[in-house]
């Protein structure tokens, strides 16, 4: 049974209003720390569980009211099991499915702004109650000429507040991630570029058509039909796909065969894009997928696409799919190309980062080393998360390393691994493999 989501009747859109919301949240967090340390005076053994839960609730409540890039960052953080305490990842995960929706009058206002008409004048039927509300927009069900449609509507002000929101998010990110402002800037710039694209719904419709056509060769995957004439810069109309989100699907206790089928479709979807298109759907959170009654995987969002330039693709996937890792000098050369080892590093640092990154990539590449891989095995993920947790506490990794492309490529692949783990799926991993310019000479 889904929880009742309280509707929002307004959304802060001006820089001043949004800034004030962050300041207010900062005061709340300060109060949580005072409360925590006051209790610790009387109970020295008190851990930070309650503090983390209080802070996670206050930050999430604030971000979910602001919507947009602020909430999107929370969504991204919720997918990384090593960056944040569990209280944060659990709370922020709500943004994948169930952010508070906007009220009917605000939806009508958005339609009047972009079409000069109310939704009832455009569609035969339009449900003002949203079916799904996330970080950048919410989805409503409609009908036209006997066809069921999904209409995605972007929250007011989201596209115009990305840069200023990310500046406001930075202080929270510094504190949560333990990075300095300078080190975080490279990553924030990449996030800003992707978010600007993600709020351009005209671009999303073009990409959705392009990618769904390119991926039509894949088995057990379905895509919506898009309607550019009923879409705009802030509204997308597409055909309705009937299905369950991952969490709902797993509650039906599906057979192992069906889990494997969905897992294989997901694996092929991502690796086909990475290795054949060199551009990938870089938002693999569960809210972007549906499992249909026929046991197919529905892909319902192409807002975030990450293109992979050759100077990133070749050294990175060369490490995961060739025997380069057996050659120390060639591996270090690739690490330098990827800025995982920096020009100013001394011999001791080079050796340290070589060993740590070698171990990291060996772990990451494990599914590719055999023709099939069982993502249900907990030992692999315990090893993966354990290693991530260990390096997140090392002072050497507080300095940002790696080219900017890692942000979304890592997010994509580890997001894929996490969903396959939730599915407990066993998949064939040799269906779409890396290939390089030298391969076709």
Strand partners, 400: none
CA dist 48 to 204, 235, 314, 393, Å?
41, 42, 43, 17
Q: How many CA atoms lie within 13 A of 30 on its CB side?
A: 7
Q: What are phi and psi of 427, to 5 degrees?
A: -130, 155
Gyration radius of the chain over CA positions = 22
Give the DSSP letter string of 385-406: HHHHHHHHT-GGGGS--S-TTH
- List the chain residues with pLDDT less than 70: 1-102, 133-135, 165, 168-184, 186-187, 437-441
Which distant-in-sequence residues (6+ apart) come within 8 Å of 371 by Cβ? Answer: 428, 429, 430
d(CA 169, CA 185): 12
In this structure, how many other beta carbons lie within 10 angstroms of the beta carbon of residue 28?
15
DSSP structure class, residue 311: H
d(CA 238, CA 148): 9
pTM exceeds 0.85: no
| Angle CA 194–421–131, to nearest 5 | 55
Which pLDDT value is given to residue 166?
Answer: 72
Pairing of strands 221-222, 297-299: parallel
pLDDT in tens, 173-194: 655 555 556 666 766 777 778 8
**Structural contact between residues 413 and 74, judged by C-beta atoms closer than 8 angstroms:** no
d(CA 141, CA 364): 40
Which pLDDT value is given to residue 4?
Answer: 42
d(CA 324, CA 326): 5
Which pLDDT value is given to residue 334?
Answer: 95
Q: What are phi and psi of 361, to 5 degrees?
A: -70, -35
Which pLDDT value is given to residue 82?
Answer: 47
Which pLDDT value is given to residue 441?
Answer: 41
Which pLDDT value is given to residue 22?
Answer: 55
Strand partners, 142: 126, 149
Which pLDDT value is given to residue 440?
Answer: 44
């Amino acid at each position: 049974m889904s929880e009742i989501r309280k509707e929002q009747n307004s959304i802060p859109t001006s820089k001043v209003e949004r800034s004030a919301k962050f300041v207010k949240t900062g005061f709340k967090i300060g109060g949580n720390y005072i409360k925590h340390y006051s209790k610790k005076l009387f109970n020295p053994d008190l851990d930070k569980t309650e503090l983390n839960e209080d802070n996670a609730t206050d930050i999430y409540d604030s971000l979910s009211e602001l919507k947009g890039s602020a909430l999107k960052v929370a969504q991204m953080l919720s997918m990384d099991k090593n960056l944040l305490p569990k209280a944060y990842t659990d709370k922020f995960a709500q943004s994948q499915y169930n952010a508070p929706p906007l009220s009917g009058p605000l939806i009508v206002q958005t339609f009047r702004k972009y079409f000069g008409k109310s939704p009832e004048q455009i569609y035969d039927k339009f449900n003002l109650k949203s079916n799904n509300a996330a970080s950048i927009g919410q989805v409503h069900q409609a009908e036209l000429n006997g066809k069921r449609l999904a209409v995605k509507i972007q929250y007011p002000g989201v596209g115009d507040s990305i840069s200023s929101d990310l500046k406001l998010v930075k202080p929270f990110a510094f504190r949560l991630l333990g990075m300095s402002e300078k080190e975080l800037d490279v990553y924030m710039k990449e996030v800003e570029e992707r978010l600007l694209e993600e709020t351009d719904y005209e671009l999303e419709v073009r990409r959705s058509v392009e990618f769904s056509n390119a991926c039509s060769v894949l088995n057990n995957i379905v895509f919506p039909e898009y309607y550019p004439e009923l879409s705009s810069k802030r509204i997308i109309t597409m055909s309705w796909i009937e299905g369950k989100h991952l969490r709902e699907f797993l509650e039906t206790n599906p057979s192992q065969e069906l889990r494997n089928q969905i897992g294989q479709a997901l694996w092929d979807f991502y690796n086909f894009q990475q290795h054949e298109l060199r551009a990938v759907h870089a938002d693999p959170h569960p809210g972007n997928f549906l499992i249909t009654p026929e046991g197919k995987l529905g892909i319902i969002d192409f807002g975030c696409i990450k293109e992979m330039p050759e100077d990133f693709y070749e050294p990175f996937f060369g490490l995961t799919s060739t025997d380069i890792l057996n050659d120390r000098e060639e591996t270090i050369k690739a690490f330098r190309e990827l800025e995982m080892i920096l020009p100013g590093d001394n011999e001791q640092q080079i050796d340290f980062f070589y060993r740590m990154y070698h171990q990291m990539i060996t772990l990451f590449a494990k599914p590719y080393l055999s023709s099939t891989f069982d993502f249900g095995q907990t030992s692999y993920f315990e090893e993966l998360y354990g290693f991530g947790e260990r390096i997140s506490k090392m002072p050497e990794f507080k300095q940002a390393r790696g080219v900017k492309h890692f942000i979304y490529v890592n997010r994509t692949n580890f997001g894929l691994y996490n969903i396959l783990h939730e599915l407990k799926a066993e998949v064939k991993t040799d269906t779409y493999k890396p290939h390089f310019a030298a391969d076709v000479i």
